[in-house]
């Protein structure tokens, strides 16, 4: 092909040299008209059949609500062992109370319940170990003024009302937690119904309590303990009995994970 | 005698058209080759970072961590190199096949500068920490209008060339180029609007992203690459394309099905089950046009395989076309759940992207560049052996890269499926393959440094002035 170059007009010598690559090219391609083979159509039919089967099997009726593809089901495999032991109902309740404590009470009373400065401690405090009614009153409506705790006087700091921030279940859970954690009382829990009762009677109050207005040290909240508390006081022994039984608290307990 | 004269006229006309495309096409090729070099070097760095984060860990190189170097590498490869080089080939092919000179090439140069500016801002933005987490859309959100504007300008120029075409049959390559002209803006605008401008639910964004990635391959890169293959295979052989019917089936099949693909990647995910199913079936049905294209190329080439050994253009194009078929068949197979569950969340996704962008598209475009550049600069490629090295390093590199990513990804996915084993197992399962991947990247980096050097000499017109093209193998003349 490069022989073209020599035959070209010599006046265009430079441009011919520049075009040498263009000059040796073959002609620009055209389209041929060979017929299609039968094989091609056969394979097309095969592909279409496979495609149709695929769509039928996987499209799940073109239903926007159906996320399940056959063979791709989210289920727990047979040999699956969940990490860690199953928690008892009591432990769940206790943990929920801990979450409330960390979110609401921690800042003043400290995570070890020792208080700080003019904020009284909770550990072994008579306000925790004795009457539960007055404990609920304090949490719901707050308290101010002088108060004696474990023999020491406090009063420069006020405790604000928590009734707007915590519902009955949360208050019950945090009371159970505080009593078990800081006073070792784990043979009974405070239930949602008990707190509901206190709130019905005192929830309308506009100001914080002073010590004189509270219920006496011997006034305990009355109410039925849930079924999973019945066999014994020890939280560890409640594990086996708690499983599978339904109670109103049981239904609400998972909510506590969302607390705050 | 008149025939000779006509042939001479023809050559001069063709040369004049080539000359009119010189500035923009060389600009796109050169800057694309620079971006390719940047991309492969980043590709090497990110591949090492994947298993050895301490690599290049100086404080002032903070931006090279895997989370930034990986999207920067992909952005540079797709937008800096692939689309830009594709635009260059499209301009040249359009001018030639419509027999229309490029008028006012400076506008195309301006578009090219804006495109490069966009890519530069994008890559630097990713390094500076402004990237988004979307695959192939990782450039900062402000970049996409720049790229879209630059591309639109090129599209207007391509269309005006098409309007000024000489009468006669419209060749199949022109169809594909026109397709890419309209499909890129459609795909790009849709994805950016629904991901960056009016983002919906996170799941919808993920689905849009998967659709975008696949549509970019099937509706932008594949048409541009096939336009090139459909031109150069028959051109170098000097015989017509086998069958116009197959060409039509191939084109329309791809046009209809290409935009449905992509979401099969999310099968089993929290999407309505029919969405991955429709994408999967589109990938299976796309085998029909792919088969048509493969038969067409194969039958055109039949009996002339010797040219694959000697002509650089032919060799790159033929291997690229082969990789296209491999890519489509693998994609269709992985649309089936039994295989797809191993390929959807592991390194294998990288294997697919690289097989399409580098294995198919890049090799095809290399073939086109080896044909086009001598016609623009008026000198020949300096050395056939250098082209040979480029070919072998590139081909070995990409084949091992894809193979390692694919098989390593299978191991990795199988380890992910062991839900009760530590996640670390999955990472270490892919580790030996990841190390192999770095070696493959090194090979690709070497090949592209050779290519960039060779192309640079050509653009500076330091090429060979002798007669006859640079060929592969032992021959030095003829054809």
Q: Pick from A11, A21, A27 the residue to mutate for testing the B interface (most B CBs within 10 Å).
A: A21
Q: Is the pLDDT of residue B211 over 90?
A: yes
Q: Nearest C-alpha of chain A: how many angstroms from B273?
A: 5
Sign of CA dihedral B154, B158, B159, B164: positive
Residue A71 is predicted with a pLDDT of 59
CA distance A223 to chain B (A): 44
Residue A168 burial (10 A CB sphere; 0-12, 13-18, 19+): buried
**pLDDT tens-digit profile, chain A (260 residues):** 444 444 544 445 445 444 556 667 777 888 888 888 899 999 999 999 999 999 988 887 788 877 766 656 666 667 666 666 778 888 889 888 998 898 888 888 888 888 888 888 998 888 888 888 889 999 999 898 888 888 888 888 888 888 888 888 999 999 999 999 888 888 888 998 899 988 888 888 888 888 888 888 888 888 888 888 876 544 444 444 444 444 444 444 444 444 44
CA of A26, closest CA in chain B: separation in Å? 5
Mean pLDDT of B420-447: 89
Measured between CB atoms, which of B281, B300, B467 is closest to A20? B467
List the single best residue of A3, A29, A56 to mutate versus B (max B Cβ within 10 A): A29
H-type alpha helices, B171-243: 172-192, 202-216, 222-237
Chain A nearest C-alpha distance from B238 (Å): 5
Cβ distance A63 to B272 less than 8 Å, yes or no, reads yes
* Nearest C-alpha in A relative to B239: A29
Size of interface A-B (CB pairs under 8 A): 167
Pairing status of strand A152-154 against strand A147-149:
antiparallel
Query: Does position B346 have pLDDT exceeding 60, yes or no?
Result: yes
The two tokens of residue B393 are: 């390093």
Residues of A in contact with B270 (CB under 8 A): 67
Give the list of residues 6+ apart from residue B158 with CB closer than 8 angstroms, or none: B90, B91, B94, B177, B178, B181
- Give the minimum alpha-carbon distance from A107 to chain B in angstroms, rounded to a whole number: 36
A69 contacts B272? CB cut-off 8 A: no
Cβ distance A28 to B96 less than 8 Å, yes or no, reads yes
Question: Residue A64: its chain B contacts at CB < 8 A?
Answer: 272
What percent of chain B has a predicted confidence (pLDDT) above 90?
73
| CA distance to partner chain B, nearest, from residue A8 (Å) | 8
Q: Write down the pLDDT at residue B209.
A: 95
Instruction: Write out pLDDT tens, residues B83-133.
Output: 999 999 999 999 999 999 999 999 999 999 999 999 999 999 999 999 998
Taking CB atoms and an 8 Å limit, are A31 and B171 in contact across chains? Answer: yes
Between A36, A64, A69, which is nearest B246 by CB?
Answer: A36
Say which of A31, A66, A77 has its CB closest to residue B273: A66
CB atoms A32 and B467 under 8 Å = no
Cβ count within 10 A of residue A153: 11
CA dihedral B78, B330, A41, B301 (to 10 degrees): 60
Of A21, A32, A72, the CB nearest to B241: A32
**Residue A203 DSSP one-character state:** T
Residue B55 Cα, gap to closest chain A Cα (Å): 36
Average pLDDT rounded to a whole number, residues B41-56: 92
Asked if B274's CB is within 8 angstroms of A58's CB, the reply is: yes
Q: For a pLDDT cut of 70, what percent of chain B falls above it?
A: 98
In this predicted structure, what is the pLDDT of residue B328? 96
- Best of A15, A22, A35 to mutate (most B CBs within 10 Å, chain B): A22
CB contact under 8 A, A21 and B374: yes
B242 CA: distance to closest CA in chain A (Å): 5
Nearest to B280 among A1, A9, A58 (CB): A58
- Are the CB atoms for A219 and A152 separated by under 8 Å? no
Distance of alpha carbon B129 from alpha carbon B125, whole angstroms: 6
Residues of A in contact with B380 (CB under 8 A): 21
Read off the pLDDT of each residue in B414-428 and give the average, rounded to a whole number.
82
B219: nearest Cα among B245, B247, B181: B181
Query: SS in 3 state form for B114-176?
Result: HHHHHHHHHHHHHHCCCCCCCCCCCCCHHHHHHHHHHHHHHHHHHHHHHHCCCCCCCCHHHHH
Instruction: Give pLDDT tens digits for B286-332.
Output: 999 999 999 999 999 988 888 888 899 999 999 999 999 999 999 99
Contact list in A for residue B277 (CB cut-off 8 A) is 54-55, 58-60, 69
Cβ-nearest to B238 among A8, A23, A27 = A27
Compare B61 and A11 and report the one with higher pLDDT: B61
What length does chain B have? 479
Distances B92 to B51, B177, B318, B452 between C-alpha atoms, Å = 42, 11, 20, 20
- pLDDT grade for B270, boundaries at 50, 70 and 90: confident
Tell if the CB–CB gap between B273 and A5 is shorter than 8 Å.
Answer: no
Handedness of CA A87, A90, A93, A97 (dihedral sign): negative
Closest-CA distance, A86 to chain B, in angstroms, reads 17
With an 8 Å Cβ cutoff, are B272 and A67 in contact?
A: yes
Considering only the beta carbons, identify the residue of B15, B233, B247 that sits closest to A31.
Answer: B247
B288–A69 C-beta distance less than 8 A: no
Looking at the domain covering A89-212, what would its CATH class be? mainly alpha
Count of residues making up chain A = 260
Task: Tell me if B284 and A51 make a contact (CB, 8 A cut-off).
Answer: yes
Contact B244 A33 (CB under 8 A): yes
Q: Do B171 and A29 touch (CB under 8 A)?
A: yes
* B12:A15 CB<8 A: yes
Residue of B16, B245, B273 best to disrupt the A interface, most CBs of A under 10 A = B273
Please report residues of A whose CB lies closer than 8 A to that of B287.
47
Identify the closest residue of chain A to B253 by CA–CA distance: A44
Check CB contact under 8 Å for B292 and A40: yes
> Could you give the CA distance from residue B227 to residue B176 in angstroms, rounded to a whole number?
6
Nearest C-alpha neighbor of B229 from the set B294, B140, B148, B136: B294
Which residue from A minimizes the CA distance to B419?
A: A80
Residues of A in contact with B273 (CB under 8 A): 58-60, 63, 66-69
C-alpha span between B147 and B132 (Å, rounded): 16
Tell me which range, A255-259, B50-54, B279-283, is most confidently predicted by mean pLDDT: B279-283
Q: Taking residues B429-441, report their average pLDDT.
A: 91
**Phi, psi of B34, rounded to the nearest 5 degrees:** -65, -45
Token pair listed for A187: 């043979």
User: Which of B231, B233, B271 shows the shortest C-beta gap to A67?
Assistant: B271
Residue B463 has pLDDT above 80, yes or no: yes
Whole-prediction pTM value?
0.74
- Chain B residue numbers with beta carbons less than 8 Å from the beta carbon of A21 are 374-375, 378, 380, 469
Neighbours of B232 (CB within 10 A): 28
- C-alpha pair distances (Å), A87 with each of A191, A241, A243, B207, B271: 19, 12, 9, 39, 34
Chain B hits for A22, CB-CB cut-off 8 Å, are 11, 14-15, 18, 375
Check residue B247 and give its pLDDT.
Answer: 94
- A46 contact partners, CB below 8 Å, separation of at least 6: none
Q: Which residue of A has its CA nearest to B378?
A: A18
C-beta separation of B348 from B405 below 8 A: yes
CB-side neighbour CA atoms (13 Å) of A198: 29
Q: Provide the b/e sequence for B128-144 (b: ≥16 CB within 10 Å).
A: eebbbebbbbbbbbebb
């Amino acid at each position: 092909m490069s022989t073209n170059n020599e035959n070209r007009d010599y006046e265009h010598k430079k441009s011919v040299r520049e075009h040498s690559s263009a000059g040796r090219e073959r002609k620009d391609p055209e389209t041929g008209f060979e017929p299609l083979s039968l094989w091609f159509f056969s394979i097309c039919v095969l592909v279409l059949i496979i495609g149709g089967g695929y769509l039928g099997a996987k499209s799940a009726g073109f239903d926007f609500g159906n996320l399940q593809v056959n063979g791709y089901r989210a289920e727990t495999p047979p040999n699956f062992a969940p990490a860690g032991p199953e928690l008892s109902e009591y432990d769940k309740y206790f943990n929920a109370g801990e979450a409330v404590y960390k979110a609401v009470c921690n800042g003043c009373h400290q995570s070890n319940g020792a208080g700080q400065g003019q904020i009284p401690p909770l550990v072994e405090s008579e306000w925790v170990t004795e009457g539960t009614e007055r404990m609920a009153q304090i949490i719901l409506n707050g308290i101010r003024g002088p108060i004696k705790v474990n023999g020491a006087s406090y009063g420069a700091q006020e405790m604000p009302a928590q009734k707007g921030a915590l519902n009955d279940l949360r208050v019950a859970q945090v009371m159970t937690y505080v009593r078990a954690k800081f006073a070792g009382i784990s043979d009974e829990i405070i239930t949602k119904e008990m707190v509901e009762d206190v709130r019905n009677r005192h929830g309308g109050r506009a100001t914080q309590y002073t010590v004189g207005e509270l219920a006496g040290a011997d006034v305990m909240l009355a109410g039925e303990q849930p079924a999973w508390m019945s066999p014994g006081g020890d939280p560890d022994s409640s594990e086996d009995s708690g499983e599978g039984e339904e109670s109103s608290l049981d239904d609400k307990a998972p909510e506590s994970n969302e607390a705050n | 005698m008149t025939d000779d004269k006509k042939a001479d006229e023809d050559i001069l006309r063709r040369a004049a058209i080539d000359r009119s495309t010189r500035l923009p096409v060389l600009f796109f090729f050169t800057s694309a080759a620079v971006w390719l070099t940047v991309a492969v070097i980043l590709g090497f760095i990110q591949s090492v970072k994947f298993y050895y984060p301490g690599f290049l860990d100086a404080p002032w190189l903070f931006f090279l961590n895997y989370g930034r170097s990986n999207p920067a590498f992909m952005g540079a490869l797709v937008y800096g190199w692939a689309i830009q080089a594709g635009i260059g080939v499209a301009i040249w092919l359009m001018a030639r096949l419509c027999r229309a000179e490029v008028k006012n090439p400076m506008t195309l140069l301006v578009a090219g500068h804006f495109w490069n500016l966009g890519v530069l801002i994008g890559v630097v933005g990713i390094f500076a920490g402004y990237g988004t987490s979307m695959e192939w859309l990782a450039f900062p959100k402000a970049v996409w209008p720049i790229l879209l504007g630059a591309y639109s300008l090129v599209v207007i120029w391509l269309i005006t060339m098409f309007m000024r075409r000489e009468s006669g049959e419209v060749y199949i390559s022109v169809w594909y180029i026109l397709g890419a002209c309209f499909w890129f803006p459609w795909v790009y605008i849709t994805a950016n609007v629904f991901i960056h401008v009016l983002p919906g639910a996170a799941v919808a964004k993920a689905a849009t992203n998967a659709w975008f990635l696949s549509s970019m391959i099937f509706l932008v890169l594949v048409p541009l690459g096939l336009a090139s293959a459909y031109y150069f295979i028959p051109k170098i052989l000097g015989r017509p394309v086998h069958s116009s019917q197959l060409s039509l089936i191939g084109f329309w099949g791809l046009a209809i099905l290409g935009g449905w693909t992509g979401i099969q990647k999310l099968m089993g995910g929290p999407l309505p089950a029919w969405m991955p199913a429709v994408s999967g079936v589109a990938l299976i049905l796309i085998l029909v046009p792919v088969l048509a294209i493969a038969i067409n190329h194969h039958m055109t080439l039949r009996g002339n395989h010797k040219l694959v050994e000697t002509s650089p253009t032919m060799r790159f194009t033929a291997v690229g076309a082969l990789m296209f078929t491999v890519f489509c068949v693998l994609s269709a197979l992985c649309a089936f759940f039994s295989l797809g569950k191993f390929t959807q969340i592991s390194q294998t996704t990288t294997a697919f992207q690289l097989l399409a962008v580098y294995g198919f598209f890049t090799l095809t475009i290399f073939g086109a560049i080896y044909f086009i550049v001598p016609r623009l600069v008026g000198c020949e490629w300096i050395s056939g052996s250098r082209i040979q090295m480029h070919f072998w390093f590139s081909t070995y590199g990409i084949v091992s890269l894809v193979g390692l990513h694919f098989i390593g990804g299978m191991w990795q996915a199988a380890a992910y499926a062991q839900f009760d084993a530590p996640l670390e197992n999955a990472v270490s399962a892919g580790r030996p393959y990841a190390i192999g991947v770095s070696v493959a990247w090194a090979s690709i980096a070497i090949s592209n440094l050779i290519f960039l050097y060779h192309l640079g000499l050509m653009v500076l017109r330091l090429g060979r002035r002798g007669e006859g093209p640079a060929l592969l193998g032992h021959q030095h003349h003829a054809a």
